[in-house]
Amino acid sequence: MLCTCPADPRQGFLQYTGEAMVFEPRNNRVIETADSGLAVLPGFCDVHVHFREPGFSYKETIAAGTAAAAHGGYTAVCTMPNLDPVPDSLPHLAQQLEIIERDARIAVKPYGAITEGEKGEEIADLEGMAPFVCAFSDDGKGVQDASQMREAMTRAKALGKLIVAHCEVNELLRGGYIHDGRYAKTCGHRGICSESEWRQVERDIDLAYQTGCGYHVCHISTKESAELVRQAKKDDIDVSCETAPHYLLMDDSMLEEDGRFKMNPPVRDRSDRDALLEGVTDGTIEIIATDHAPHSAEEKARGLEKSAFGIVGIETAFPLLYTYLVKQGMLTLAQLTRLLSDNPRKRFAIETDPGQSIWDLNEEYTVDPSTFLSKGKATPFEGWKVFGRCIETIYNNNLVWKYE
């Protein structure tokens, strides 16, 4: 893949070849990124965002969310269906599509719900929504009834669509809100056990095998989930998964008594973090998505127990991953690009022009939520030092972000 775009029309072009990024001035003298600090990458694709509109525009909007995405180097996103109304039928979905058409700066591909109202009772109108959605998901909730999930997979298979699952066994949650590890026990918090996630991953992989449906697991956080996906791939089951930057860069020893550290699933033990890093490097985990989930300041100011689940991440994903994985030698820049752009586009059949994002990889700065374009500001990475400033993002030959 070769992407070329003007870095500065007076000076030359940046090129991404799939392995190396170079800056090529008009005099044809080539300067490697290592020297210039400049890189151009395909625009990223986030298959897991919550842009909250319609229904919860006080948290986020399509306009604010896509502006934040462009700021983070993204040119395509897939929006989760926990909205009001839930996109469980074509009339409900049409309300979201109208807002996207009016306000989006980049490509926005919505999910359709698996069940009506995400209530887990009746299967939604998958057939009516199929031409207009990227996949089907009840994200935010696990589909508890195996027979319903089997029916959804059978119908999605016939439509050529993925089933995308937030895996969570309700009866194992027990009112928890952080990982049931040492921090929870030491500080008197109720924990969420790892089994609540991997048990449903295990069930759904078996259903995917039975039905032949393409199946994608959202935001895996446990070593057991990673191993289940690894084995399923060896068995040639059509399974993929994603994890998020916070599961790769944090563990529960890093928690603080603040709502900006609360998300679902929670950050877990160091052994889980290490297993996820292994999964990213060996290809078990093909996609890094952010689970960008903004809330109002008031909703995130109630401490760990009472704050809403969810953090923002689309504006910090690349700088964090570049700084703490690429610069530390755990991934190459080309590998990270595949995880953020090439792989999600391929798995989800996102065929829009990826465009480009241009980065100054030498610029160091501190993560500061006051600079976010998202309406949400809650991030556990506040104050972290990072390298990589997004200078420009280009989509459909339009400049959708420029650093001033």
Q: Which residues pair with 231 in a beta bridge?
A: none
Return the exposure string of 336-363: e unless at least 16 CB atoms fall within 10 Å of the residue's CB, then b.
Answer: bbbbbbbbbbebbebebebbbbbbbbee
Contacts of 28 (CB under 8 A, 6+ apart): none
Per-position pLDDT tens, the chain of length 404: 334 444 443 243 444 444 444 444 333 222 335 557 899 999 999 999 999 999 999 999 999 999 999 999 999 999 999 999 999 999 999 999 999 999 999 999 999 999 999 999 999 999 999 999 999 999 989 999 999 999 999 999 999 999 999 999 999 999 999 999 999 999 999 999 999 999 999 999 999 999 999 999 999 999 999 999 999 999 999 999 999 999 999 999 999 999 999 999 999 999 999 999 999 999 999 999 999 999 999 999 999 999 999 999 999 999 999 999 999 999 999 999 999 999 999 999 999 999 999 999 999 999 999 999 999 999 999 999 999 999 999 999 999 999 98
Q: What is the pLDDT of residue 37?
A: 83
55 CB-contact burial (10 Å; exposed 0-12 / middle 13-18 / buried 19+): middle
Please pick, among 238, 291, 353, 360, the residue that the annotation labels catalytic.
Answer: 291
Q: What is the pLDDT of residue 27?
A: 33
Quote the CA–CA distance of 136 and 49 in Å, as a whole number.
Answer: 14
Closest listed residue to residue 164, CA positions, set 217, 90, 112: 217
Q: Is 291 a catalytic residue?
A: yes
Q: What is the fold of 43-353? A: TIM Barrel (3.20.20)
Quote the CA–CA distance of 49 and 331 in Å, as a whole number.
Answer: 24
**Global confidence as pTM:** 0.92
Q: Could you state, in order of their start, the residue ranges of all structural domains in the chain?
A: 43-353
Closest listed residue to residue 324, CA positions, set 242, 378, 385: 385
Q: What is the pLDDT of residue 160?
A: 98
Q: What is the pLDDT of residue 115?
A: 98
Q: What is the pLDDT of residue 30?
A: 27
| Per-residue CA distances from 357 to 42, 164, 360, 397 (Å) | 6, 27, 10, 12
For the segment 294-346, what is each residue's pLDDT rounded down to a tens digit? Answer: 999 999 999 999 999 999 999 999 999 999 999 999 999 999 999 999 999 99
| H or E element, residue 90 | helix 90-103
